[in-house]
Amino acid sequence: MGDRRTAKDGDRRLGRRALFVGGTAAVLGTAALAREELGRLWWRLPGIDKPRVAGAVDFPGARWVAASPANLRRADRPDDYRIDRVIIHVTQGGYRSAVNVFQDPGHGAAAHYIVSADGHVTQMVRELDVAFHAGNREYNERSVGIEHEGFVEDASSFTDAMYEASALLTAAICGRYGIPVDRGHIIGHVEVPGTDHTDPGPHWDWARYLRLVRAARTAPVKPQRSA
């Protein structure tokens, strides 16, 4: 499950850097630089926010349950942060307990999605936002996190329905952001620098999972069943 939030995950405020960039761009006449930086920073200005549809999901058929705002950072990905990896987690508990802790502002962590043992997908953080799930700020900013119901030490946690639903989800994410379907870009939480987590653990079948993701990337898109 996602690590608790640390200071390095905190919001980046509009301040001296933005003013410096804007001033430098104006002095040097680098309009392209100014546009790029302002594109990253405009939504952080007081009273400005990207338009959002309440309850909207990024994956068809997913159920929306909002995580606590304390467990994420509002963003405008991939415009402000490129998304180039998917991180696989295991909840070390049941589906309901994962939902509950991600809704708890004191927990300090949440993933974008949870996949249940019976193959239902719940989205708790929009992909455009930074979820605190990896315990590493850079990885949080550039990834989508997917939790899977179960326990790393219990091979029976990873059901056929879970593998298939998760593979369809990851395939959709990879297609949306141009992420290669390989082990360099679809990784486990254990592979995030600085983490002390071991998920998804030795029973997660990476060969099977990548095979399913690749197959889903080439198959016609079908809406998933709702929970």
Positions marked catalytic: 147
Distance, in Å, from the CA atom of 220 to the CA atom of 116, rounded to the nearest integer, reads: 23
Q: List own/partner pairs for 153-160 with CB under 8 A and 24 or more apart.
A: 153/201, 153/203, 154/203, 155/203, 157/90, 157/117, 157/203, 158/200, 158/203, 158/204, 158/205, 159/117, 159/118, 159/119
H-helix or E-strand spanning residue 25: helix 16-28
H-only helix segments in 42-195: 95-102, 137-141, 160-177
Helices 160-177 & 206-218 angle (0-180, nearest 10):
60
Whether the Cβ atoms of residue 129 and residue 183 lie closer than 8 Å to each other: no
Distance, in Å, from the CA atom of 209 to the CA atom of 56, rounded to the nearest integer, reads: 27
Distance, in Å, from the CA atom of 57 to the CA atom of 145, rounded to the nearest integer, reads: 15
**CA dist 1 → 20, 107, 134 (Å):** 38, 11, 9
DSSP 12: P
Name the pairing type of β-strands 85-88 and 72-73.
unpaired
